[in-house]
Structures are given as structure tokens and as C-alpha cells.
Amino acid sequence: MLLPEPLAAADRDTVPTPQPEQEAKKHGKNFIGKVIDYFGKANKGKKTRGMDFTIIGGPYYNSDMGLGIGLVASGLYRTTDADSVLPPSNASLFGKISTKGFASIGIRGTHLAPADRYRITYIAEFLADPSDYWGIGYEMDNNDANESEMKRTGVRINGSFLFHLGSSIYAGPKVMFDYIHAYKIERPELLMGMRTSLCNTGVGATISYDSRDVLTNPHRGIYASLSQSFRPKFMGNRYAFSTTELQIDGYHSLWHGATIAGDLRATFNYGNPSWYMMAQVGGSYFMRGYYEGRYRDKSMMAAQVELRQHLWRRIGVVAWGGAATVFSKFSQVQMRRMLPNAGVGFRWEFKKDVNIRLDVGFGKSGQNGFMFNINEAF
């Protein structure tokens, strides 16, 4: 048997030695490298079935809730491989916690059946927070002296099952469940004798028209929805009432990377809604910058226009303006009772057509808020 001859000294000098980069690849990337890769690949869309799931967190702030941390997890998926033109279904887990004790956790999404035969939209949220309350009606809500504190815990569950009727038209039933328990109420007289623990169950129907190109970040198309719901006494509701809700959104491309988006929405309650179920202004989706629920009454109307501009790679910015009002009868819809709103925001494409948004909104008399959220406001 022949044995290999030993390498000469010169030959030994030419044998390659492992480099640090090669060693790193051999043993895997470090933690920071893995995080960079994780978010670097997060916006690569999938054309096949299976959940494309990513998670991220970030800060938010407003003067009422204080400084907080928000956590969002976004999932995109398709129910069939055959129709890659159909927008993907989406599901988002969200949670928040703040220095003033606000906490919430929930899930929202839209499930599209194969061939878009039907759609299921849903939201379920649990909250536990210290909340400010001003009363009911514009005059009371606009009075800073009425600001009072309460603590509350609650659950909200809404769901719709919409059949595709053709030509971008959908219709079907909806169900609603709301529970709130308020305690440690600083000024109970502002509740006007209503109960502090409330449970509402309702049913209704929705008809909508949806020609948007993408559900989570539309660039063109129209979305219009008309919904009618009922919460009668025989379903166990202490305060019986019905609600009509209207929302109309439009999207149009202006120039390269720019989209103009408009949103018109209204809520009309009939009967005897409780203080918690009144139509409200504010939050993360319209009239951003107003404390959610400060302005509340039986009815509400709001409009907003937003310019969205893509800047570079996954980065974009927005600017918006709008107005809203709350009222119990149409004669109260007056210019002096209008609530102005404006703001700017930063966008980062977290996933394909799913943006992380950081918004700074401004309202009447110095009201403002800084929000961290996922998907566009409308």
C-alpha cells in the first residue's frame, strides 16, 4: 500500500487557513445579523399558501396614556395557490402597554376564501386601562373642567361574513359583543345615571363595494360600506338601540410613488345607547391626535384626506387633514362645533404592502398624540 508523501514546507505554506468570515458562516450568523436578515426579508411577498408571519415592536405616546410600547405581529396568507391576483388574507395581533397603566391585546383581520367566494372580517380586543371621561355631547366634552378619571376593563368582539355577489359587491350578516366595567369613577354624575357595568349583544347586516388593489395598503380603487345593526332588549341589552354606519374610501395615484386617499365615515345611533356605546371621535384610525372617546354623542360624522408618498426603498411619509363632529340631532352640525385635525407620519414597509406607521396627530386646543400601529389608517 502506498502512503501519501508528506507535504513540503513550501506546500504547507500554501494550504488555506479558515478566515473569520468563513468561520462565522460555518457556525451561523450572530444575533444582530439574524435580526437584520429577519427584517430584510420580511417584505418579500409569498405567492403560495402558508402563513407569512413577522413580529415587531415600537413606541407610542400621548399626553393621556403616557409613554408606551406597542407590539404587532402581521400575518399574510393565501387560501389557494391558483389565484395570485387575489389580495392575500391578513391577520394582525396587537398589544400595547403604557406607563399610565393602559393595556390592551387583540387580533383583527380579513380572511378571503378561495376565488373570493366570501370574506370574513373580525376583531377581538381585551383592554384594561385608566380612562379619562368628559361626559356626553360636544358642549360637555369641549369643557376641559369636565375631565375626570375612571378605571375600566372591557372586551369587544365584532365579526362579519360577507358573500361575494359579483362586480366587487359583498353582503352578509354581522355579530357584535361589547362588555365594559368601569370603577373608581371620579365624577359618576357625568354618566347621567347610567350603569357602570354594561353588556351589549347585537346582530346586523353589511353591504359593501370593494375594488381596492390591496386591502392593507391601497393605491387605487374604492371601498364603500353600509352597515345596519340592532341591539334589542330581548337579546339581554339593558340599553336597546340600533346603529347605521357608513364608510366611503377612495384611492388614486397622483405622480410617481404618490397616492391620495380620502375617507368619509358616519355613525348614527337610534334609541337609547349607553355612555360607552355612543359614537366617538379619535383613536388610531381617524381623527388621530384626539383622545379616543373624549368627544362622544349619539351620532358622529368625519372626513379626512391623506397624501402618501413613497420616498426610498421601504420608506415613505404621509400628511393628512380632516374634521369631525358629534351630535344628537342634525341641527347641531355647525361650523363652531367642528373638530379640526392634521398630522404627519412615517412609513416603513414591514411586510409586502403592510406598513408600520408612526403618526403624529394634532387637534383642537393643543390636543395631540404620537401613535405606533400597523397597516394604513384607512
The Cα–Cα gap between 185 and 151 comes to 7
The Cα–Cα gap between 301 and 264 comes to 8
Give the pLDDT score at 80.
Answer: 81
Give the pLDDT score at 147.
Answer: 95
Concatenating the DSSP letter of every residue in 298-352 gives SEEEEEEEEEEEEEETTEEEEEEEEEEEEESSGGG--GGG-EEEEEEEEEEEEET
Give the pLDDT score at 2.
Answer: 44
The Cα–Cα gap between 167 and 240 comes to 36
Give the pLDDT score at 14.
Answer: 47
Give the pLDDT score at 209.
Answer: 98
Give the pLDDT score at 10.
Answer: 44
Give the pLDDT score at 153.
Answer: 96
Give the pLDDT score at 155.
Answer: 97
Give the pLDDT score at 86.
Answer: 84
Going by C-alpha positions, the residue among 209, 43, 228 that lies closest to residue 119 is 209
Residues 6+ apart with CB under 8 A from 216: 90, 353, 354, 355, 375, 376
Give the pLDDT score at 33.
Answer: 55
Over the chain (378 residues), the average pLDDT of each successive run of 10 is 47 48 51 54 58 78 72 85 78 87 92 94 94 96 96 97 96 98 97 96 98 94 98 96 98 96 98 97 92 95 98 96 97 96 95 90 91 89
The Cα–Cα gap between 90 and 67 comes to 28
Pick among 3.20.20.70, 2.40.160.50, 3.40.50.300, 3.20.10.10: CATH of 52-80+88-374: 2.40.160.50
